[in-house]
Amino acid sequence: MERREFLKRSGLAVVGMVVTHVGCQPSVLRENPMERFRRYYGFNLTEKTGGLGPRRKFNERDFEMMAEWGFNFARIPMSYWNWSSPQDWYTIQEDVFDDIDEVIEFGRQYGIHINLNFHRIPGYCINGRDREPMDLFDDTPERMAKALEAAAYHWKYFARRYKGISSTLLSFDLLNEPPKNTNDQRYEKIVRTLVQAIREEDPERLIVVDGKDIGRTPMTGIVDLNVVQSTRGYDPMAVSHYTASWVPDDEKETFKAPTWPLLADNGKLWDRDALREKLIDRWTPVTSRGVVVHVGEWGCFNKTPHTVCLAWMKDILSLWREARWGWALWNLRGSFGILDSERTDVSYEEFRGHKLDRKMLELLLEYKT
C-alpha cells in the first residue's frame, strides 16, 4: 500500500469502521486513549518475533476471528532483525514496513487496537540476549550509549512513519521484558530517552512501558511520563511454564506435575490470594497515582494439564477484572493459545481450518468485560 494512501485511510476518519465492527458509540471513541486501555482484551500475534528466516506476514483471518469473538486488542511483538540487522543498526529495509502498515490497517478495519512492541531492540532481547553486538543494559558506558542511540533511532523512524494515526488505533510498547533484577536507574534512562525520541516526532503517540524485572515490577520513577505500564501474568512459573526448556530452573517453584492451587517446594501455597499479592498488590505504588496498567503477556504452556490451566486462568482473570486491567494472551495460535495449541488432553473443535480450544475461548470471553 502506498504510504500516503495508508495514512489517509488509517487517520482520524475511522469512526464508522470501528463502530461497525465493535459496536462502540462515538462517545467511547472520544474517550482518553489511555483510559480506553483498561478495556483492551486480545492476543499477541507473533509473526515478527523472529526476523532471520523467511518473511512472515500477518493474517487477516486472525483479525476476522478476533473481531467476531469481540476482542479489541493485538499486541505485535517484533524483532528489529526484520527490518535491520545487528551488523548495521542504521540501515533500515523499508519494504518490510508494508507488513506493519498492513497489520495497522487490519486493526483499523476490524476495530482492533494495534500495540507495536520491540521484542528485540538494538542491544537487548529477553531471549538470546548475547546475540546482540552490544548490551543495552549491562556493558561499558560507551557501548550502552551506542545501543541506546540505535534504539532511539529505530523508534524515531516508527514515530515519523505513523505520525497522524490516532492513539485510539495505535500505540507503541518500548521494549519487551527488561532483564531480571533490572537496574532501576539504567532502565529509567532508557525509557526516558526512548519516550523523548518518540515524542520529538509525534507528541501525541500513546506509549506503553513494560515493568522492570521481566515486566513484573512497576516503575515508580516514570509516573510523570504519562504512559501505560505493562505487566505479566505467568506466575507461578511451575504452572504456566511446566517443562518449558527456555525458563531457568531458579524461576520455577517446583518441578512436580502442576496442580491448582499449587504447593511450592519451599512450602509456599500458590492460590488466588497469592496471585493477588504477587500480580496485583505490588502495582499499588503506581495505580494509586492514577497509572493505567495492562497485562501485555500471559498464558499457560501446553504441557500443563488442561484442567489445571483453566482453573489457574479463571483465578487470574477474575483478579484482573476486579482491578480493571486489560490483557493480551500469548498467543492466539500456538502452544499458549486458543488455536492449534497441540495439547494432548483437549477435545478440539474444528474451526475454519484450525483446532479451537473452545473451553479456553469461553473462559476468556467470560472475563473480558
User: pLDDT, tens digit, for every residue of 337-369?
Assistant: 999 999 999 999 999 999 999 999 999 999 997
**pLDDT in the model for residue 1:** 52
Are the C-beta atoms of 80 and 50 separated by less than 8 Å? no
The model's confidence at residue 14, banded by pLDDT at 50, 70 and 90, is very low
pTM greater than the 0.75 cutoff: yes
Give the separation between CA 274 and CA 279, rounded to whole angstroms.
8
- Residue 155: the pLDDT is 98
Model confidence at 51, in pLDDT bands (50, 70, 90)?
Answer: confident
Q: Give the pLDDT score at 52.
A: 86
Which amino acid, 38?
A: R
Looking at residue 369, its pLDDT comes to: 74
Task: Please state, rounded to an integer, the average pLDDT across all residues of the chain.
Answer: 93
pLDDT at 119: 98
On the question of pLDDT at 29 being above 60, the answer is no
How many angstroms separate the Cα of 136 from the Cα of each of 1, 25, 207, 354?
A: 34, 43, 20, 39
Decide if pLDDT at 53 tops 60.
yes
- Domain coordinates of the chain in residue numbers? 3-366
What span, in angstroms and rounded, lies between the C-alpha atoms of 108 and 127? 31
Domain spanning 3-366, CATH class: alpha beta
Which pLDDT tens digit goes with each residue over 172-195?
999 999 999 999 999 999 999 999
Dist CA 127 CA 292 (whole Å): 27
d(CA 295, CA 281): 14
Q: How confident is the model at residue 5 (pLDDT cuts 50, 70, 90)?
A: low
